[in-house]
Each structure stands twice: as structure tokens, then as C-alpha cells.
Amino acid sequence: MAQEVKVTATKETQSFGHVESIPLAHRRMSNWDLFATWIGANANNGTWYIGGVIAACGFLTASTTLIIVGLVAYALLAVASYMGYQTGVPAMALTRASFGLRGSFIPSLINVVQFIGWAAVNTFIAATSISYIFGELFGWPLYGKPGGTFGLIVGILIMSALHLLSISLGERSVRLIERIGIVLVVVFVLWESVVVFRTVSFHAILTWQPPHHLRMSSGVAADTLAAFNLAWVTAASDFSRFT
């Protein structure tokens, strides 16, 4: 690998073969920006959805599993992120060291597929939320009810436009979106918590048990959380390379 990669310095970047490496002098993401990025990545509609899924374990099992799997997953995420910081290259370029140039096509293809799925699932969840907003504002049928598909389609179009806007300027637009997003996420989490605890006491949440036919084992919860958390490992260095 060392023999294959030729490093040439330019005014703005370094080039590792045909892969752009961002030198430290041209990295603009601060500690705060990276913090905001990972808060936004891990406190969003998809995360809340997964929280609802593992609730089928009961509070104690779900919380314990969440902590254990989280520590392991984020340790791996930190290592992958550090690799991006050290080299300045994206995650899929780093796979060349292990698989070679042609071999790296396989993890790259897998990454494409899993991120298409990731974007599709998050878009669907957000679009469902938008359909509920339109239901309140305009009286449109809710998704899941007769005629509710129209609101979902409008929500998908809105979210798709926002996705494209968020990456329109590359790293700069992502950085701006995350700076705004972290504030909104904190506000929404606090707001949602207030609403929940006004409706249900903490004791009731602590002692609630799911119906037997819906109960989830800790193993299934761990598998669900691992799939959810580890998906970011394949993109960690794509962010940290700018810090």
C-alpha cells in the first residue's frame, strides 16, 4: 500500500493516489462542530424510533443494553474517526490498506447500499412526522389513514429537498446545518421529555412491562442497537478528516 500511494502536496490539499487528503492547515471543523455533528447523528428521529423499538425489553433491560452496546459501538466509532483525523482521507479510501484498491470496491458498494437504506428510513420517519404536521395545520388525512399517502409523498419531497440543501456546499453546509440542528435537537428533546412526564410518571415508565407476545430479548435489542450504531463507523472519518 505504501508503495502504491504517492503523496503530492498542493496549495489546498494533498493527494493520496486519486483520493483527496485534507491537510491540518485547511481543516475548518472545530471541536464544537464535531460535537454537534455526532449529537445530531445520534439524537434524531431515527434514534427516537429505535428507542421505541427496544422499549419492548422493558425499561431496565433496554437501558442496560443501550449503555453496554453504546460503549462498545462508540469505542469502535472513535477509533474509525481517529483514523480519518490522522490521514485526512474518507473511510472508504482507508479500506484500501486492508483490501487493496480493487478489494475496496466491495466495502464501498456495501456502504452505498446501507446508506441508501439509512437515508430512506430516516426520510420515511421524518415524512411521516410531516404528514402529522399537515394533518394538524390543514386537516389532511394522516398517513396510515385513507388518503394519507398524499401527505407522506409531500413529506418525502420536502425531506429530499432538505437533504440536497444540507450537502449543497459539501462540508461547509453540513457544518452549518449541524450548528443549527444541535440547538433544535436539545430544544425538542427537552420539550418531548416535558410532554412525556406530564402524561406518564417516571415510576410508571420504570415498572412498565410489554405484553408477553411483544416482548423483546436483550440479544435482539443488542443486535438492533449494534446495527444502528455501527452504521456510522463506515463514515466516521468522512467527518473527522475536516477537524
Q: What does the DSSP assignment read for 124-193?
A: HHHHHHHHHHHHHHH-PPPBTBTTTHHHHHHHHHHHHHHHHHHTTTTHHHHHHHHHHHHHHHHHHHHHHH
Assess if residue 16 is contained within a domain: no
Tens place of pLDDT for every residue, the chain, 243 residues? 444 433 333 433 444 456 778 888 889 888 888 888 888 877 777 788 888 899 999 999 999 999 999 999 989 999 999 999 999 999 989 988 888 888 889 989 988 998 888 888 888 988 998 998 899 888 898 888 888 899 999 999 999 998 888 888 787 888 888 888 888 888 888 998 899 999 999 999 999 888 988 899 999 999 999 888 888 888 899 889 999
d(CA 18, CA 89): 11
Is 2 inside any structural domain? no
Is 162 a member of any domain? yes
**Contact criterion met (CB below 8 Å) for 210 and 216:** yes
Q: Which residues contact 121 (CB under 8 A, 6 or more apart)?
A: 46
Instruction: Answer yes or no: is 135 within a domain.
Output: yes
At 18 the pLDDT is 65
Residue 92 grid coordinates:
472508504
pLDDT at 7: 39
Whether residue 43 is contained in a domain is answered as: yes
- What are the distances in angstroms from CA 237 to CA 20, 103, 180, 207, 220? 13, 19, 22, 41, 28
Cα–Cα distance between 215 and 184 in angstroms, integer? 33
This prediction's pTM: 0.73
**pLDDT given at position 6:** 39
Domain with 38, as residue range(s), is 30-83+105-240
Reading the block at residue 195, the C-alpha cell is 410532554
In a domain, 24, yes or no: no
User: Which grid coordinates are listed for 200?
Assistant: 406518564
Q: In angstroms, rounded to a whole number, what is the distance separating the alpha carbons of residues 82 and 75?
A: 11
What cell was used for 64?
442496560
User: Does a structural domain hold residue 97?
Assistant: no
Question: Residue 201: inside a domain, yes or no?
Answer: yes
Question: What does the alpha-carbon distance between residue 16 and residue 237 come to, in Å, rounded to a whole number?
Answer: 15
The predicted pLDDT at position 2 comes to 40
The Cα 80–Cα 83 span in angstroms is 5
Report the number of distinct structural domains present in the chain.
Answer: 1
